[in-house]
Amino acid sequence: MIVASLRNCLAASAVLATLLAALPAQADTFRPGWRFSPPPGITLTTGKPNHALALQGNAYVSPIYLRQVVPFPTHERAGTIIIDSQSHFLYLVLGNNHAMRYGIGVARSGFEWSGSHRVTRKAEWPSWTPPAEMRKRQPGLPVRMEGGPANPLGARALYLGSTLYRIHGTNEPWSIGQNVSSGCIRMTNEDVIDLYARVEINAKVVVR
């Protein structure tokens, strides 16, 4: 259970939003020993502190990227995921010209892509096996990392087609709204858990 005053949460969000606006795009790096710290004013009383802390990412996100239902005229069927990389938004089509909109982090320069795939697999607290080319670029990466709060894939992952791309959570929630990844789509852990519960295997994913 998380105990926090609304006033403190709002104040923390405002300060963090200001800091985020000044941050440059960050590299997609792995930092051994990284630990998630809660915003000021939040006291943790759960029996699983690491997992609970990992689910406080939205406090680090600019308000514009918080999850919300928005008007979204489209010919795509309900359940389709549409990713607008330029604006850093993911839309889950709800039907009746509306969508659930989520803030995301997208590929950094040189790793951008577009196209259409299907969700072929879903995983909770997924393990991570960095591909060989990524480990060549970043020799400090592990060969494999078990799922958990320190894992860069975060709380959930949706695997796209037969590619190495995923829509997944993150242990760096402040990277939402930035071009930071090697091609995957990042979400806060809270948001990817919400999306995971709404999306079915074989759902269409369009990346623009």
Hey, which residues are catalytic here? 168, 184
Q: What dihedral angle (degrees, nearest 10) is formed by the CA atoms of 198, 184, 89, 197?
A: 10
Residue 1 has which token pair?
């259970």
Residue 101: which of 70, 63, 127 has the closest Cα? 70
Identify the H or E element spanning 3. strand 2-3
The type of residue at 112 is: E
DSSP 151: S
Q: What DSSP designation does 39 have?
A: P
Dihedral through CA 164, CA 124, CA 187, CA 42, nearest 10? Answer: -150
DSSP readout, 75-98? SSPTT-EEEETTTTEEEEEEETTE
